[in-house]
Amino acid sequence: MITPREVPPERFNQRLAMYLKERFPEIRPPEWAMYAKTGCFKDRPPLDEDWWYYRAASILRKLYLAGRPLGIETFRTIYGGRQRRGVAPPHFRKAGGSHIRKILQQLEKAGLVKKVKGQGRVLTPAGRSVLDHVAYFTFQEIAEEMAELKKYAER
């Protein structure tokens, strides 16, 4: 069985983001999403119109790979970055938590994630199924491009 571990993350996240956009009306960027920076270390808001879906796909993949509950603070650290301070040495800063919280709430509403009290959020069986489904079709797409992988793509 093909899982998100076996496919390249860039291709998987791109395909999962489009899947979420098409199939889950609960996952929609709020009005402020086009104007908000994702962290204090960023100069500008994201330029891509679909960044909300890509971040949601990335969060789902990280939950899948972790296999344990992850909280908002963990995601803030994961998506954090280096803040440049002119001539002073740069420092690490966490990402903003608002967009992460809203995405997790939307994923909960869609039934892909559930909250574990005091620990964070974890994938539901439906969420795991969606990720496995998208991983399989992503692998099929890659196998069509690479002849040596064709034998693995057949069920």
124-148 pLDDT, tens per residue?
999 999 999 999 999 989 888 877 7
Q: Which two tokens mark 6?
A: 């076996």
* Mean pLDDT, the chain, whole residue set: 93
User: Considering the domain boundaries, does residue 21 fall inside one?
Assistant: yes
Residue at 130 is within a domain:
yes
For 83, list phi and psi in degrees, rounded to 5: -95, 120
Report pLDDT digits (tens) over 48-86. Answer: 999 999 999 999 999 999 999 999 999 999 999 999 999
pLDDT at site 122? 97
Q: How many domains does the chain have?
A: 1
Domain boundaries, position 115: 9-153
Q: Are 83 and 94 in contact (CB under 8 A)?
A: no
**Is residue 99, in this structure, part of any structural domain at all?**
yes
Domain containing residue 118: CATH number:
1.10.10.10
Residue 74 placed within a domain: yes
Q: Does pLDDT of 47 surpass 70?
A: yes
Domain annotation covers residue 26: yes
The pLDDT of residue 136: 93
Burial 21-48 (b: 16+ CB within 10 A, else e): beebeebebeeebeeeebbebeeeebee
Alpha carbon of residue 26 to chain centroid: 16
Please tell me which residue, 94 or 1, carries the higher pLDDT value: 94
Answer whether 135's CB lies under 8 Å from 7's CB: yes
pLDDT at 152: 66
> What pLDDT is recorded for position 150?
66
**Share of residues in the chain with pLDDT > 90 (%):** 87
Q: Does residue 2 lie within any of the structural domains? A: no
Quick check: is 1 in a domain? no
The DSSP H or E segment spanning 114 is strand 113-116
Q: What is the DSSP string of 116-151?
A: ETTTEEEE-HHHHHHHHHHHHHHHHHHHHH-GGGHH
Q: 151 pLDDT exceeds 70?
A: no
Confirm whether 34 is domain-assigned: yes
